[in-house]
């Protein structure tokens, strides 16, 4: 499938094939929310945050290139529900090193190492090590290098290598190819394959946070992660990230973490203001998506999840929210496109069928 796609591209590039010759399958892209939970708490089986972007053509069900953005709790299970094996993911991109976005990676890479030991290394793309002004260093590189230290120290890695010598002795991390970049305010290309290009910008949440954009001939998708505004608290123009807004210019789809305004300090949720302020609100995301000219806004990593009476330790003022409350927040702020309030496995296809 892959060779067919890239074969067409290569042939077109050297001018031996008329563009879109008869019978050439049309390019397509799917965006699948692999987890819609916001934050580290567990609620009603929702998986931790993650988005799968798959690109290909009609002949391979948009499945020639598979990019996983963040890998929260249960990512492997959600991928199994859309028939994607751990070995079929070409690259994993991390927005930041918080466990809700990263803890499913251990599962994903261990599975690849055990069951598909001869599969190619998976690219892991994330920010360079970065020193936080608070005195610590955030290191995606070390996170990946040490992903299976518990299994190495328990003796499991040696035991499994003993029963299948094809498994790399270094353990699951040996199947990861870490590619870090210095996150900057201006979009820069951080990964390409054929006609798929991924760009990144620096965004504010914790040190090293990055947001991504995927461009393909079938359309473009921005994955904002937990980005918020560079100004940590009001007064500020919006809770959204100015860099993400530039990245999202004319994007087809924006997938973004959202917090509902009812959790704000002007109500009595009990959520500490810095935790509220470091997320983008559903209403500000609606306004940003409209300014950027996006067609679809996927609100995910919902704080609080629809139906939940609590967000972790904090109450939801006025009682549990509904999906309609999130959609209304985005639409009332001016978004005229399609707002999708994500559940696990919510999917969008470009072009729509
Ligand atoms: Zn998060």
Sequential DSSP letters for 94-160: -S---HHHHTHHHHHHHHHHHH-TTSPPEEEEEEPPEE-TTS-EE-HHHHHHTTTHHHHHTTHHHHH
Distance 296 CA to ligand 1 centre (A): 21
Q: How far apart are CA 255 and CA 119, in angstroms?
A: 29
Burial (CB < 10 A; 0-12, 13-18, 19+), residue 265, is middle
What pLDDT is recorded for position 353? 86
Distance 325 CA to ligand 1 centre (A): 20
Tens-of-pLDDT digits for all 353 residues of the chain?
333 333 333 333 333 343 444 457 999 999 999 999 998 999 999 999 999 999 999 999 999 999 999 999 999 999 999 999 999 999 999 999 999 999 999 999 999 999 999 999 999 999 999 999 999 999 999 999 999 999 999 999 999 999 999 999 999 999 999 999 999 999 999 999 999 999 999 999 999 999 999 999 999 999 999 999 999 999 999 999 999 999 999 999 999 999 999 999 999 999 999 999 999 999 999 999 999 999 999 999 999 999 999 998 999 999 999 999 999 999 999 999 999 999 999 999 999 98
- Rounded to 10°, the helix 323-332/282-292 angle is 50
> Which residue is listed with tokens 């930041």?
96
Distance 45 CA to ligand 1 centre (A): 16
Distance 153 CA to ligand 1 centre (A): 29
Distance 144 CA to ligand 1 centre (A): 18
| CATH 3.60.15.10 describes domain 27-350 | yes
Q: What is the pTM of this model?
A: 0.93
Q: How far apart are CA 30 and CA 61, in angstroms?
A: 9
Distance 10 CA to ligand 1 centre (A): 39
Task: Give the tokens for residue 190.
Answer: 């951080």
What pLDDT is recorded for position 19? 44
The shares of helix, strand and coil residues in the chain, as percent rounded to the nearest 5, are: 30, 25, 45
**Whose CA is closest to 269, among 278, 259, 257?**
259
Distance 279 CA to ligand 1 centre (A): 9
Distance 61 CA to ligand 1 centre (A): 30
Q: How far apart are CA 203 and CA 127, in angstroms?
A: 11
Distance 342 CA to ligand 1 centre (A): 15
Write out the E strands in the chain.
Answer: 27-35, 50-57, 65-69, 91-93, 122-127, 130-131, 137-138, 176-181, 188-193, 196-202, 210-216, 219-223, 253-259, 296-303, 310-311, 314-315, 338-341, 347-350
What pLDDT is recorded for position 23? 57
Q: How far apart are CA 80 and CA 281, in angstroms?
A: 31
Distance 160 CA to ligand 1 centre (A): 33
Distance 292 CA to ligand 1 centre (A): 23
Distance 304 CA to ligand 1 centre (A): 12
What pLDDT is recorded for position 24? 77
Distance 161 CA to ligand 1 centre (A): 35
What pLDDT is recorded for position 1? 36
Distance 21 CA to ligand 1 centre (A): 44
Residues 6+ apart with CB under 8 A from 165: none
Distance 243 CA to ligand 1 centre (A): 18
The full set of domain ranges for the chain reads: 27-350
What pLDDT is recorded for position 179? 98
Distance 301 CA to ligand 1 centre (A): 7
The pocket of ion ligand 1, defined by CB under 5 A, consists of 100, 226
Q: How far apart are CA 289 and CA 258, in angstroms?
A: 13
CB hemisphere CA count around 232 (13 angstroms): 7
Query: Around Cβ 184, how many Cβ atoms within 10 Å?
Result: 12
- Bridge-based pairing state of the strands 130-131 and 137-138: antiparallel
The Cα diameter of the chain in Å comes to: 66
Distance 35 CA to ligand 1 centre (A): 11
């Amino acid at each position: 499938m892959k060779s067919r796609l890239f074969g067409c591209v290569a042939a077109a590039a050297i001018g031996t094939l008329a563009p879109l010759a008869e019978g050439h399958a049309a390019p397509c892209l799917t965006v699948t929310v692999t987890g819609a939970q916001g934050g580290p708490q567990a609620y009603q089986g929702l998986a931790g945050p993650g988005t799968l972007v798959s690109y290909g053509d009609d002949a391979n069900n948009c499945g020639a290139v598979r990019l996983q953005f963040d890998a929260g709790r249960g990512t492997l299970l959600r991928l199994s529900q859309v028939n994607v094996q751990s070995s079929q993911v070409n690259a994993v991109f991390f927005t930041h090193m918080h466990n809700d976005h990263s803890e499913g990676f251990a599962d994903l890479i261990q599975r690849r190492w055990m069951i598909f030991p001869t599969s190619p290394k998976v690219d892991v793309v994330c920010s360079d090590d970065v020193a936080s002004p608070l005195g610590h260093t955030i290191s995606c590189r070390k996170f990946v290098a040490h992903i299976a230290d518990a299994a190495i120290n328990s003796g499991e890695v040696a035991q499994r290598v003993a029963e299948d010598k094809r498994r790399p002795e270094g353990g699951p991390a040996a199947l990861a190819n870490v590619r870090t970049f210095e996150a900057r305010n201006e979009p820069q290309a951080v990964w390409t394959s054929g006609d798929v290009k991924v760009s990144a910008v620096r965004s504010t949440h914790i040190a090293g946070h990055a947001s991504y954009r995927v461009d393909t001939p079938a359309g473009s998708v921005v994955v904002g992660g937990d980005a918020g505004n560079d100004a940590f608290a009001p007064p500020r123009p919006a809770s959204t990230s100015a860099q993400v807004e530039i990245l999202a210019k004319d994007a087809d789809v924006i997938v973004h973490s959202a917090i509902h305004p009812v959790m704000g300090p002007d109500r009595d949720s009990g959520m500490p203001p810095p935790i509220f302020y470091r997320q983008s609100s559903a209403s500000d995301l609606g306004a940003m998506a409209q300014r950027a000219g996006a067609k679809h806004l996927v609100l995910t990593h919902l704080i609080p999840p629809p139906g939940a009476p609590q967000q972790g330790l904090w109450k939801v003022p006025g009682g549990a929210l509904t999906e309609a409350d999130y959609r209304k927040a985005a639409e009332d702020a001016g978004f005229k496109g399609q707002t999708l309030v994500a559940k696990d496995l919510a999917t969008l296809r470009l072009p729509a069928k």
